[in-house]
Amino acid sequence: MWNILSSLIHKVRKEFNLAISRLPSVRLANAGYVFLSFSIMSYAASSYAVTITVSIPPLAGMIAPLLGDEDRVEVILKPGASPHGFQLKPSHLRNLQNSDLIVWVGSPVDSWMQKPLANLHTAELNLKHLPGIEEYPVRQGGLWETKHEHTHAEVHAEEKGEEKGEERDHHVDEHPHEQRMDGHLWMSFKNTLLLIESVSKQLQQMQPDHAQLIQQRTQAWLNQLRQSNEVVQNQLQAVKNEPFMVLHDAYQYFEKQYQLNGVGSIQLNPSVSPSLKRVAELRARIKEGGVKCVFKEPQFPERRVLAVVKGLDVKVGSLDPMGVVSKAFQQKQQQDFMFYDQFMLKLSEGFTACLQVEN
């Protein structure tokens, strides 16, 4: 919308300047008309509704409370879809082209946004590039804080779905000391606050007539999130020492924020099932480490978790790093995402329900 409006103003200015140069006898009258036209357009530019497109639902949940009734937020990744291996459709590209602002993580999680954004001239915010962002290295090996250490080659082979002894890609050991960062940046409470403040500043620039109102919405929303953070902190206090395992390592930032005791992940690559060797290691870790719960995710087949826990005395819980909402929720709320405070609380409830000690 902003791009269309800017182009329209430029076109009108050019056409009126041309008309004035050809009609000198009415130059003053036309100049006055031009001034009036640009005054009207400037007013429209300062008060128009904005459309923000985000890559994944949690980003929408962060920024939606900042928007006015006429503003819209569009989500590329719809409920139930996994960001891993996702491909954009022509309809997604049209949404991006019609956006006033695009917000994405900027990590491998939504790397499918990188190519189309390189060809657009729309304003964008990249979470990964915000100053002061909190980042942690990827946890290697899938079994954390154990005596067994995987070599760099073994980790990469597992990530590519290859069994030990099979021919490995020649790129496996090309950069053995390169440190990869965990791309699930939206799971960090600190990063969430940084993104909200950055989007707020962008909105105030785009809607200067509403700047004070946007500031008020921003402060109220940040206060609400800080209160939710305290609630989650209290909820998880009783289970923070209980060992658990996850389907894939999407929760490191959340774990560190609330000092939870994650001991490993079933999958090193979300798109590849674990090898038989890995399943055996995981089952041994569950037995030896007193793992209380193994968490599945709605975006992936349940059988990947059930194959690991079959016959073991361990509970199966559910966590969702995308914050999937039901069709009933979508129809009632008229949105396909949950607000970020609800997202935090739902994660907390998922951990607590499975890890709490039964009397």
Partners of 267 in beta bridges: 248
d(CA 285, CA 272): 20
Instruction: Give the closest residue to 298 by CA, choosing from 330, 264, 250, 340.
Output: 250
Q: What pLDDT, on the 0 to 100 scale, is given for residue 133?
A: 96
Distance CA 195, CA 199 (A): 6
Contact 263, 145 (CB under 8 A): yes
- Report H helices in the chain: 2-22, 27-47, 57-63, 90-97, 114-118, 152-159, 189-206, 211-236, 252-258, 276-289, 303-309, 327-333, 340-355
Q: Average pLDDT of 302-310?
A: 92
Of 212-216, 226-230, 333-337, 343-347, minimum mean pLDDT range = 333-337
Share of residues in the chain with pLDDT > 90 (%): 59
Residue 325 banded pLDDT, cuts 50, 70, 90: confident
Examine the pLDDT at 48 and tell me if it is beyond 80: no
Q: What pLDDT is recorded for position 359?
A: 59
pLDDT greater than 80 at residue 184: yes
Average pLDDT, the chain: 81
Mean pLDDT, to the nearest integer, of 14-19?
A: 35
What the block records as the tokens of 143 is 């079994």
Q: What percent of the chain is predicted at pLDDT more than 70?
A: 77
336: confidence class by pLDDT, cuts 50, 70, 90: confident
Lowest mean pLDDT among 43-47, 73-77, 142-146, 354-358: 43-47
39-48, 75-84, 132-141: range with highest mean pLDDT: 132-141
Using the predicted structure, report yes or no on whether residue 251 has a pLDDT greater than 80. yes
What's the DSSP call for residue 99?
Answer: -
- Mean pLDDT across 29-36: 43
Query: 23-32, 291-300, 310-319: which has the minimum mean pLDDT?
Result: 23-32
* Amino acid identity at 309: V
As a whole number of angstroms, the distance between CA 354 and CA 294 comes to: 9
Residue 267: helix, strand or coil by DSSP? strand
As a whole number of angstroms, the distance between CA 275 and CA 273 comes to 7
- Confidence class for position 322, pLDDT limits 50, 70, 90: very high
